[in-house]
């Protein structure tokens, strides 16, 4: 039965169901139809590619910086037995609680940290580990977060406008839309959502909030829908970009990504790899640029005489073009359609 406390109280009811069963249960009890692009089973994105690129072997030491539902972590753990170890990080405490159950068979091989991955160097400094074989970061939100109405990530959900990955932080999406000046809302939607109707949407938000606080996801989705021209039959929902922008802002998703990628390199052994899956161009640009910089390549795009980019190479880029999901994966998991995987190898 669903209670005010949400998912966690479904434990006994769902104890004998697998994740596919859990997801079907969610559709049945909380949603009329699955959100666009989500399949009824949780599938880690680009799983085969991640395992191949990370060259997971028995005895390997890996970091999963974004444990989520543990799909990639479980597959990595299978490959690195016996003797392998995994350091698992997520800023979402509820996800960590769930993933612990899933990874119980590997309890002796996993260390969990409820942290922002930008603090990974601190974590690693405090662990007496040999250099790492690899690090994975699968950026963005998990399907668990998207599907939990009370987490307030989805414009199709019935929950409060929240969007915090780490619920101990104070800033929520409702806070931003109800408190920021119109200009700042427009800038945020434009910058993080690359939304062409950012100004119209910001105006509509400010008009609506003058009538009363905007607190529900569905309410904000309606305001956005009313502010933009009707969409074509195949285009994305008009609220998609604004919700993405708010999520990025609430969780400060782009801040620290470059530092994280640069700062973790010294912890990876020569020949070890860092793999990053991103889901939108803003993230992918940062990953591409950071890897290029670390590879001693130019990132300033100036002519060679004017370029002052440091040319010391710390990595080799393994994916000059990002790996993307194959048709078969997209058929099973349309949510993977925007995924891009970039990999760099420590020299």
Q: Rule CB under 6 A: which residues touch ligand SAM?
A: 44, 66, 68-72, 89-92, 95, 116-117, 138, 140-142, 165
Least distance from ligand SAM to the Cβ atom of residue 68, Å? 2
Backbone angle region of 112, left / alpha / beta, with phi > 0 → left and psi within -120 to 50 → alpha: beta
Q: How do beta strands 315-317 and 268-278 pair? A: unpaired
User: What strands lie across the sheet with 110-114, from one edge to the other?
Assistant: 110-114, 85-90, 61-64, 132-138, 268-278, 340-346, 315-317
Is there a contact between 189 and 201 (Cβ–Cβ < 8 Å)?
yes
* CB closer to ligand SAM, 10 vs 260: 260
Find the shortest distance in angstroms from Cβ 2 to ligand SAM. 22
The rounded distance, in Å, linking the Cα atoms of 26 and 143 is 12
Q: How far is the CB of 201 from ligand SAM (least distance, A)?
A: 25
User: In the complex, what is the shortest distance from the CB of residue 71 to ligand SAM, in angstroms, rounded to a whole number?
Assistant: 3
Nearest-approach distance from CB 115 to ligand SAM, in angstroms:
6
Task: State the minimum distance, in angstroms, from the CB of residue 250 to ligand SAM.
Answer: 11
Asked if residue 257 lies in contact with residue 323, where contact means CB atoms within 8 angstroms, the answer is no
With respect to ligand SAM, which residue has the nearer C-beta, 151 or 293? 151
Nearer to ligand SAM, 240 or 316 (CB): 240
> Which three-class secondary structure string do you get for 44-99?
CCCHHHHHHHHCCCCCCEEEECCCCCCHHHHHHHHHHCCCCEEEEEECCHHHHHHH
- Closer to ligand SAM by Cβ: residue 195 or 283: 283
145 vs 178 by CB, closer to ligand SAM: 145
SS3 137: strand
Give the up-direction half-sphere exposure of residue 206: CA atoms within 13 A in the CB hemisphere: 13
Q: How many angstroms from the chain centroid is the CA of residue 63?
A: 15
Pick 22 or 69: Cβ nearer ligand SAM: 69
CB of 140 to ligand SAM, least distance (A): 5
Q: How far apart are CA 303 and CA 47, in angstroms?
A: 39
Pick the closer one to ligand SAM by CB: 92 or 345: 92
Cβ-based nearer residue to ligand SAM, 215 or 251: 251
Nearest distance, CB of residue 145 and ligand SAM, angstroms: 6
User: Helix H segments across the chain?
Assistant: 11-14, 19-30, 47-54, 71-80, 93-102, 120-126, 143-147, 173-179, 182-193, 198-209, 217-227, 240-250, 257-264, 281-294, 327-332
Quickly list DSSP for 164-185: -SSTTS---HHHHHHHS-HHHH
CB of 7 to ligand SAM, least distance (A): 14
Q: Which position's Cβ is nearest ligand SAM?
A: 68
Residue with Cβ nearer ligand SAM (141 or 282): 141
């Amino acid at each position: 039965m669903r209670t005010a406390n949400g998912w966690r109280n479904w434990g006994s009811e769902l104890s004998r169901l697998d994740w596919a069963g859990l997801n079907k249960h969610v559709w049945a009890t909380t949603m009329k139809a699955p959100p666009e692009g989500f399949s009824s089973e949780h599938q880690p994105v680009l799983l085969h590619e991640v395992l191949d690129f990370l060259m997971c072997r028995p005895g390997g030491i890996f970091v999963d910086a974004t444990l989520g539902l543990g799909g990639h972590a479980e597959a990595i753990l299978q490959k690195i037995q016996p003797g392998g170890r995994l350091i698992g990080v997520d800023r979402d405490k509820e996800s960590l609680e769930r993933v612990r159950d899933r990874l119980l068979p590997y309890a002796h091989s996993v260390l969990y940290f409820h942290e922002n991955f930008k603090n990974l160097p601190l974590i690693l400094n405090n662990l007496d580990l040999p250099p790492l074989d690899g690090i994975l970061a699968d950026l963005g939100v998990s399907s668990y977060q998207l599907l939990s109405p009370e987490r307030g990530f989805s414009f199709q959900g019935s929950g409060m406008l929240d969007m915090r990955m780490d619920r101990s932080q104070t800033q929520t999406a409702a806070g931003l839309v109800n408190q920021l000046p119109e200009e700042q809302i427009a800038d945020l939607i434009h910058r993080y959502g690359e939304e062409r109707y950012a100004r119209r949407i910001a105006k509509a938000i400010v008009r609506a909030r003058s009538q009363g606080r905007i607190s529900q996801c569905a309410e904000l989705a309606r305001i956005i829908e009313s502010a933009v021209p009707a969409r074509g039959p195949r285009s994305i929902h008009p609220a998609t970009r604004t919700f993405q922008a708010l999520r990025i802002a609430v969780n400060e998703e782009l801040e620290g990504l470059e530092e994280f990628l640069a700062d973790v390199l010294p912890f990876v052994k020569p020949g070890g790899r860092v793999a990053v899956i991103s889901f939108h161009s803003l993230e992918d640009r940062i990953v591409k640029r950071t890897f290029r910089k670390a590879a001693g390549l130019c990132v300033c795009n100036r002519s060679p005489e004017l370029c002052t980019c440091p040319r010391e190479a710390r990595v080799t880029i393994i994916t000059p073009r990002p790996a993307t999901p194959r048709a078969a994966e997209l058929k099973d998991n349309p949510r993977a359609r925007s995924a891009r995987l970039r990999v760099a190898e420590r020299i």
